[in-house]
A and B are shown apart, each in its own frame.
Chain A
Amino acid sequence: MKQTLTFFVVVLLVGGCLSPPIIDSSTLIDNGSTNNTRELNSKRRKLPPEIVRHGNPNSQQKALVIGNGDYDYSRLQNPVNDAKAMTDSLVNLGFYVTRATNYDDRSMKGVVEDFEGSLPQNGVALFYFSGHGVQVDGENFLLPVNNDIIDREDKLPINAVSAQNVLAMMKNVNKGVNLLVLDACRDNPYKAKKKGGPRGLAGMDSPRGALIAFATAPGQVALDGDGYNGLYTSHLLDALENAKHKRIEDVFMEVQSPVLKKSNGTQEPWYQASFRNPFCFGGC
């Protein structure tokens, strides 16, 4: 009984997201209704992780772009494409971009550490993640592709990457502008266990000199798969195209209404900013 319960939670963890999982012949995940199909993906050949660097390495604008799509459970179609498009867009804005796709827990932690080492002290740092995310007790965890190892909530701090920690690290090294953009669902899989607990206001603190942007509102229950994967990123890409000399807040404000509209009001992107000085890509 206990086993079943635990397993159920795991599937919810990865399944309660915005985007429908890709179901191919070797993965028989019946998303939503049953969760007793654990055998599956052992046979499926996983896509290899990939890391690519683009742009001018001497740039004072550094970005780490992670796109995780080939999950053990509940694969996602668009994160890798999102990561590629986002990389191009950021290179155009003058960033030196490290793009990592389909990373497991160890390589995710490694690439974040490398990113820390590469950060300027007073420049612009941007972290972008597209993939599965989980929000527990106000902390946001970004899941590695080997999410089959996360079968309990207490494994999240060990095997997933905490967005809070990433931001704290960025802020610690770079006293300039830090941007954190998450295109991931933040459904709390334990919500049912915590009736009456705080909802809606469980997000992240943005320290001075930082902007945090999420594809959905804090505490907002994510859509359960209506083919809107990449909706947020695709509109963000549009906004970034004309972002030069625009206030960064405006760029993220621009994304809100088209996403809200296209999701029939169910997904409203959110950002929170706290700056010392106005910031625009390319100068205000």
Chain B
Amino acid sequence: MKKTIIYFIVAFLVGSCSHPTTKNSTEISSQSPDPKSEDLSNPRQALVIGNSEYEYSPLNHSINDVAEMLSQMGFHVTIEKNLNNHSINEVINDFGQRLSDSQAQVGLFYFSGHGTWHDGKTFLLPINNEKIQAEVDLKQNAVQAKTILTQMEKANQSLNIVILDAFYENPYRGADKKSTPPDEGAQISLPRGSLIAFGAAPDQFALKSGEHGLYTTHLLNVLAEAKHKRVEDVFMETHELVIEASQGKQEPWYQASFRKPFCFGGCL
């Protein structure tokens, strides 16, 4: 118990002092040539995280197309690559701040990298995954998917979308000794005005396709035609395509709880 408290204090100290000057951080914006002024005036804010250079079991995929697509859809996009546990938490906090400073109407979080589950919860892994030797290490050394949604909802009560294209295969050393996966993915009860989409069920190995995961590849195709489509339909369509392409081996899923219908280009 004492240990936990000390850990929290330390985390707080470092979290509030250091300024994020992550070298891999890029900001892209659709219209304005001056990203700083555009930053916070855009009611659509996205955070795209791509973790591939893992200490253990590195991955090989790109998130540039996702960022590009979102920016075409009118989002201000913050791109972050290869985050360790400290910076991923920091980046998520900053994103929450950005959502609230910009009075965002739509917040979107996308993650591609290793994922796993423990105790019915989904975790996203930072690149320093050598720190994770067993399930019990996840709580302190990885990010819970629900935390992201909670952070976003605190800052923006309109609409938040979380997309997780997580690779569940061999995410950390010792992961093969895992407990059985939760019944239907990690249980998350959504706050109103949110959607969470998973690229695969936690006990499935997400397949690759080109420089993306199979899921992201299809999602990008569907998003390209998404304009006045209901956002639920975007995910339903993507999911059908992935199920078909993987011959049922990979089953994405989503959950949504909305106040009103949402389409990226306005519902007709």
Distance A276 CA – B248 CA, assembled complex (angstroms): 13
A169 interface hit (Cβ, 8 Å): no
A188 CB, min distance to chain B CBs, angstroms: 14
A115 interface hit (Cβ, 8 Å): no
B76 interface hit (Cβ, 8 Å): no
**B190 near A272 (CB under 8 angstroms)?**
yes
**A250 near B187 (CB under 8 angstroms)?**
no
Stretch in A32-40, A143-151, A205-213, A224-232 touching the partner: A205-213
**B146 near A201 (CB under 8 angstroms)?**
yes
B253 interface hit (Cβ, 8 Å): yes
Distance A207 CA – B187 CA, assembled complex (angstroms): 9
B264 interface hit (Cβ, 8 Å): no
Distance A217 CA – B192 CA, assembled complex (angstroms): 8
**A218 near B261 (CB under 8 angstroms)?**
no
B233 interface hit (Cβ, 8 Å): yes
**B255 near A273 (CB under 8 angstroms)?**
yes
Q: Which residue of B lies closest to A203 (CB)?
A: B189
A204 interface hit (Cβ, 8 Å): yes
Residues on A with C-beta less than 8 A from B192 are: 217, 256, 268, 270
B19 interface hit (Cβ, 8 Å): no
**B184 near A205 (CB under 8 angstroms)?**
yes
Q: How many A residues face the partner with a CB closer than 8 A? A: 29
Distance A253 CA – B159 CA, assembled complex (angstroms): 14
Distance A278 CA – B190 CA, assembled complex (angstroms): 20
Interface-centre pick from A204, A253, A275 (highest chain B CB count, 10 A): A275
Contact partner, B255, options A247, A257, A272, A276, Cβ 8 Å: A272
B185 interface hit (Cβ, 8 Å): yes
Distance A200 CA – B194 CA, assembled complex (angstroms): 14
B259 interface hit (Cβ, 8 Å): yes
Distance A183 CA – B251 CA, assembled complex (angstroms): 32
**B256 near A249 (CB under 8 angstroms)?**
yes
Beyond A250-B261, A253-B260, A270-B257, whether A275 also contacts B184 by CB under 8 A is: no
- How does the 8 Å CB contact mask read for B172-189 relative to A, with 1 for contact and 0 for none? 000000000001110111
Distance A227 CA – B69 CA, assembled complex (angstroms): 50
Distance A213 CA – B11 CA, assembled complex (angstroms): 39
A266 interface hit (Cβ, 8 Å): no
Distance A278 CA – B239 CA, assembled complex (angstroms): 13
Beyond A272-B189, A275-B232, A278-B233, whether A206 also contacts B258 by CB under 8 A is: no
**B187 near A205 (CB under 8 angstroms)?**
yes
Residues on B with C-beta less than 8 A from A273 are: 232, 255-257
- How does the 8 Å CB contact mask read for A254-271 relative to B, with 1 for contact and 0 for none? 001100000000001011
Q: How many B residues face the partner with a CB closer than 8 A? A: 27
**A276 near B239 (CB under 8 angstroms)?**
yes
Beyond A201-B189, A253-B261, whether A207 also contacts B232 by CB under 8 A is: no
A141 CB, min distance to chain B CBs, angstroms: 16
Residues on B with C-beta less than 8 A from A272 are: 189-190, 255-257
**A208 near B253 (CB under 8 angstroms)?**
yes
**A205 near B261 (CB under 8 angstroms)?**
no
B236 interface hit (Cβ, 8 Å): yes
Distance A250 CA – B259 CA, assembled complex (angstroms): 9
**B254 near A249 (CB under 8 angstroms)?**
no
Distance A270 CA – B194 CA, assembled complex (angstroms): 12
Residues on A with C-beta less than 8 A from B43 are: none
Interface positions of B from 181 to 236, Cβ below 8 Å from A: 183-185, 187-192, 230, 232-233, 236
A165 CB, min distance to chain B CBs, angstroms: 12
Residues on A with C-beta less than 8 A from B53 are: none
Q: Which residue of B lies closest to A277 (CB)?
A: B236
**A206 near B146 (CB under 8 angstroms)?**
no
Contact partner, A271, options B146, B230, B257, B260, Cβ 8 Å: B257
A202 interface hit (Cβ, 8 Å): yes
Contact partner, B191, options A200, A207, A275, Cβ 8 Å: A200
**B189 near A274 (CB under 8 angstroms)?**
no
Residues on A with C-beta less than 8 A from B150 are: 201
B188 CB, min distance to chain A CBs, angstroms: 7
- How does the 8 Å CB contact mask read for B37-81 relative to A, with 1 for contact and 0 for none? 000000000000000000000000000000000000000000000
Q: Which residue of A lies closest to B255 (CB)?
A: A274
Distance A167 CA – B251 CA, assembled complex (angstroms): 20
**A206 near B191 (CB under 8 angstroms)?**
no
Q: Which residue of B lies closest to A272 (CB)?
A: B257
Q: Which residues of A contact B (CB under 8 A)?
A: 138, 168, 200-208, 217-218, 247, 249-250, 253, 256-257, 268, 270-278
4 closest A-B pairs (Cβ-Cβ)?
A203-B189, A205-B187, A207-B184, A272-B257
| Supplied contacts A138-B187, A201-B188, A204-B187, 5 more A-B pairs, CB within 8 Å | A201-B146, A208-B251, A272-B189, A274-B256, A275-B236
7 residue pairs A–B, Cβ–Cβ below 8 Å: A207-B253, A217-B192, A249-B258, A256-B259, A270-B192, A272-B189, A273-B256
